[in-house]
């Protein structure tokens, strides 16, 4: 039998959230509905509190279900989130699961039974919600609407399609061949308000034929619990009768359940991969485990860290989740990615090609935002923890504003990193407090004279006052005047190589630490 935790994971966070899970996690045998006035519960049952409206009723149902050794009680908000109910569940030793408020109980029963049937050891068939299962469902839907159908996600990617696609148009053929609606076709549908209507929750949307030869479409949104999961597109000959359109729309809840199961399975795999990746990045998992569990090739890889936060540290969560989805599914081949300490981490091959660092970098550079992207040097699989530290050090340089851009790698920014490390060590040793430099800094603070910057550029461009003046954006004569003036304020023997070197160390520590 499958455990309560596995059921919650397979159904997914869209519908279910575990409020209390006792250890060891109980196994599930069946699904029952708690009828008003009577509780017909057996050991291992998932008890659906359909009639529960208050905390007192929910506590009573918990205690009765626990006494009969039920596996869990499922209730909806706001009752599910009440502290008294959580305390009662812990005291009784029974799992408490919160069900999304907009979820229909009948659909949830159907979904839970399907999950339990799929987990049965006697069932040797293909798992429900698998790609093959979704293609068979597309054929069923096509027979209902009597037209070739595609099932697509919210990003217009094709998840499954029915037979009879030879009776469609070039736009549909391109959609299936490319596994998503082509950009030009997408733009035409968008200009006609199709996706706006989908987001508004219309039951069916009819799009007339277009001048370029694109045949009419009948479109149905796929929703569950108020969330848009995708859509179904049927290529039709012309306007469709109300009965035929209604029959097409009636198939949407069934498809929604399959998409949720598909998502739950993918989410479960993603969570397992994320946990393993975190262990690898922390040096707690070896290369063999990483190669096998994360499907990595035995070749050099980089760790890439992305900071999506802007000036407000709390505003990056939505951007981070969206970018995680895009990196995991929308850039080249599937990348290995996870969240850790508020940052997004990905492991990508160093060699050019799908899913590589060069492709990821180009994709993120093409769509600039507030995020910063830093990559460690390419390393063997067993040294990914080292590449992670390098990526984080590079990110620190980007955060400090020491570079103009927001994307960089450890190996290409070695000069900046060398100066930064030297400056950090020098700052810790307080080298800038030695000698006459502090007197020059005090003069700048009092008079806004800029002599410290002048000295720094003179040391950077020895014997080239024009280049030094250019770095300060002043005239060379102005630069020469400043140098004469600062040597009147402080006594420095700039002909002494050790003096020049010591001053440069001090100024680097001020600028780069």
Calculate helix-pair angle for 465-472, 451-460, nearest 10 degrees: 130
Quickly tell me which residue has 């994320």 as its tokens: 274
Residues with Cβ < 8 Å from 466, sequence gap 6 or more?
476
Contact 240, 218 (CB under 8 A): yes
CA 82/CA 80 separation, integer angstroms? 6
Contact 219, 194 (CB under 8 A): yes
Which of 207, 230, 231 has the alpha carbon at shortest distance from 217? 207
| DSSP-derived pairing of the beta strands 227-235 and 149-153 | antiparallel
Please write down the long-range contacts of 25-28, taking CB distance under 8 Å and 24 or more positions apart. Answer: 25/95, 26/71, 26/72, 26/94, 26/95, 27/1, 27/2, 27/3, 27/71, 28/1, 28/2, 28/3, 28/4, 28/71, 28/72, 28/116
* End-to-end C-alpha distance for the chain, whole angstroms: 59
Contact 390, 417 (CB under 8 A): no
Q: How many CB atoms lie within 10 A of CB 487?
A: 15
3-state DSSP percent of the chain in helix, strand and coil, to 5? 50, 15, 35
Report residue 211 CA to chain centroid gap. Answer: 39
* Cα atoms in the Cβ-side hemisphere of radius 13 Å centred on 30: 8
List, for the chain, all residue ranges whose pLDDT scores fall below the cut of 50: 121-131, 311-318, 330-333
pLDDT digit string, tens, across residues 109-124: 767 876 776 655 444 4
Please write down the long-range contacts of 162-168, taking CB distance under 8 Å and 24 or more positions apart. Answer: 162/135, 162/138, 163/139, 167/235, 168/215, 168/235
pLDDT for position 269: 66
Asked whether the bond before 497 is cis by omega within 30 degrees of 0, the reply is no
Residues with Cβ < 8 Å from 45, sequence gap 6 or more?
28, 29, 30, 31, 32, 65, 68, 70, 71
pLDDT for position 310: 55
Query: 3-state DSSP call for residue 100?
Result: coil
Contact 331, 360 (CB under 8 A): yes
Report CA-CA distances (Å) from 286 to 250, 279, 296, 305: 50, 9, 12, 21
CA 223/CA 388 separation, integer angstroms? 40
Rg of the chain over Cα atoms, rounded to whole angstroms, equals 31
Residue 232 has which token pair?
A: 């179904």
pLDDT for position 128: 44
* Length of the chain measured in residues: 513
Question: Which domains, ranges and CATH numbers included, belong to the chain?
Answer: 2-118 (3.40.1390.20), 131-261 (3.30.450.40), 282-412 (3.30.70.270), 428-512 (no CATH)
Asked whether the bond before 78 is cis by omega within 30 degrees of 0, the reply is yes
pLDDT for position 290: 80
- The CA-CA-CA angle for residues 133, 130, 162, to 5°, reads 40
Helix (H) or strand (E) holding 303: strand 301-307
């Amino acid at each position: 039998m499958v455990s309560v935790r596995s059921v919650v994971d397979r159904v997914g966070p869209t519908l279910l959230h575990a409020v209390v899970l006792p250890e060891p996690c109980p196994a599930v045998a069946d699904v029952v509905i708690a009828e008003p006035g009577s509780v017909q519960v057996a050991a291992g049952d998932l008890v659906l509190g359909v009639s529960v409206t208050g905390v007192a009723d929910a506590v009573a149902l918990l205690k009765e279900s626990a006494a009969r050794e039920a596996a869990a009680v499922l209730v909806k908000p706001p009752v599910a989130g009440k502290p008294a109910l959580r305390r009662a569940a812990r005291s009784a030793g029974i799992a408490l699961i919160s069900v999304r408020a907009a979820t229909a109980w009948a659909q949830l029963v159907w979904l839970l039974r399907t999950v339990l049937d799929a987990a049965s050891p006697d069932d040797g068939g293909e798992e429900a919600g698998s790609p093959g299962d979704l293609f068979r469902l597309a054929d069923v839907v096509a027979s209902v609407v009597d037209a070739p159908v595609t099932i697509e996600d919210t990003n217009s990617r094709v998840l499954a399609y029915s037979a009879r696609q030879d009776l469609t148009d070039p736009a549909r053929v391109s959609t299936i061949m490319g596994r998503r609606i082509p950009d030009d076709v997408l733009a035409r549908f968008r200009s006609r308000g199709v996706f706006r209507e989908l987001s508004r929750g219309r039951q069916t949307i009819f799009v007339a034929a277009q001048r370029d030869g694109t045949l009419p479409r009948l479109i149905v949104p796929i929703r569950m619990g108020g969330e848009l999961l995708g859509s179904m597109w049927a290529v039709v000959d012309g306007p469709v009768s109300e009965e035929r359109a209604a029959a097409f729309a009636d198939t949407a809840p069934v498809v929604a359940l399959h998409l949720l199961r598909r998502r739950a399975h993918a989410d479960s795999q993603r969570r397992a991969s994320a946990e393993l990746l975190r262990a690898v990045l922390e040096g707690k998992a070896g290369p063999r485990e990483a190669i096998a569990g994360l499907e990595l090739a035995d070749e050099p890889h980089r760790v890439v860290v992305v900071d999506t936060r802007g000036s407000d540290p709390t505003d990056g969560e939505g951007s981070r989740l969206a970018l995680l989805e895009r990196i995991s599914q929308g850039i080249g081949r599937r990348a290995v990615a996870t969240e850790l300490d508020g940052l997004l981490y990905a492991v990508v091959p160093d060699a050019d090609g799908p899913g590589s660092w060069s492709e990821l970098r180009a994709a993120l550079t093409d769509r600039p935002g507030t995020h910063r992207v830093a990559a460690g040097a390419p390393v063997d699989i067993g040294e990914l923890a080292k590449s992670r530290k390098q990526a984080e050090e590079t990110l620190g340089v980007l955060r400090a504003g020491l570079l103009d851009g927001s994307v960089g790698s450890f190996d290409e920014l070695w000069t900046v990193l060398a100066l930064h490390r030297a400056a950090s060590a020098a700052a810790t040793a307080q080298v800038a407090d030695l000698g006459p430099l502090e007197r020059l800094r005090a003069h700048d603070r009092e008079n806004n004279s800029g002599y410290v910057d002048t000295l720094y550029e003179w040391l950077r461009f020895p014997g080239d006052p024009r280049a030094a003046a250019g770095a300060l954006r002043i005239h060379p004569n102005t630069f020469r005047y400043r140098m004469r003036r600062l040597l009147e304020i402080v006594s420095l023997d700039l002909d002494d190589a050790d003096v020049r070197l010591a001053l440069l160390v001090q100024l680097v520590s001020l600028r780069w630490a």
